[in-house]
């Protein structure tokens, strides 16, 4: 009886470590996605080719543009999935962007890195409107991590919060 009571007291005294574990996984996933986007950015600049980043399930893919033309972008002429990375089981990913290219792929399903250091592919002259993000979630916790890509391919992570900031041009890397 004494042993049973000690067992109950011990169970009540030990904190629930599951939320802390999920928070650590979330931070690891956010760091992994940010490092992946940095690698894509570096390849874009060194190879002088456009790269398109897409999300499917728990995996982020980067496809290399076959031609040097990064202005007239279509859904064709991309070497599929040149690079990829995945997040932990239980994680969710969603990609959002403010542009609408290439044709056939909605803006919220891809982002394009250009070799001139710009994020968009429409050849316009206003880099302040360029912004995209990947939101990373983890089952069991409300917080979401955000990897932000802003003008001139600046990549940063935003602190995990339960409310994901609206994707607007005023949102930027700190």
| Range with lowest mean pLDDT among 29-38, 90-99, 131-140 | 90-99
Query: Residue 98: CB partners within 8 Å, gap ≥ 6?
Result: 107, 129, 130, 131, 132, 167, 168, 169
Give the homologous superfamily in CATH for domain 17-161. minor pseudopilin epsh domain (3.55.40.10)
Residue 38 pLDDT > 50: yes
Q: For 125-139, what is the mean pLDDT?
A: 73
pTM: 0.78
The answer to whether 63 touches 52, Cβ cutoff 8 Å, is yes
């Amino acid at each position: 009886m004494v042993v049973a009571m000690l067992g109950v007291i011990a169970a009540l005294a030990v904190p629930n470590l599951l939320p802390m574990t999920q928070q650590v996984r979330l931070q690891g996933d956010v760091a992994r996605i940010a490092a992946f986007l940095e690698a894509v950015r570096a390849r874009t600049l060194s190879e002088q080719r456009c790269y398109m980043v897409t999300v499917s399930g728990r995996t982020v893919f980067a496809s290399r543009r076959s031609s040097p033309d990064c202005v007239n972008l279509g859904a064709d002429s991309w070497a599929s999935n040149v690079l990829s990375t995945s997040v932990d089981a239980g994680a969710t990913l969603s990609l959002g962007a403010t542009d609408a290219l290439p044709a056939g792929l909605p803006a919220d399903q891809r982002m394009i890195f250009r070799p001139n250091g710009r994020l968009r592919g429409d050849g316009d002259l206003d880099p302040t409107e360029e912004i995209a993000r990947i939101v990373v979630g983890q089952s069991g916790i409300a917080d979401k991590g955000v990897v932000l890509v802003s003008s001139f391919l600046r990549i940063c992570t935003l602190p995990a919060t339960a409310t994901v900031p609206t994707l607007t041009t005023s949102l930027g890397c700190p």
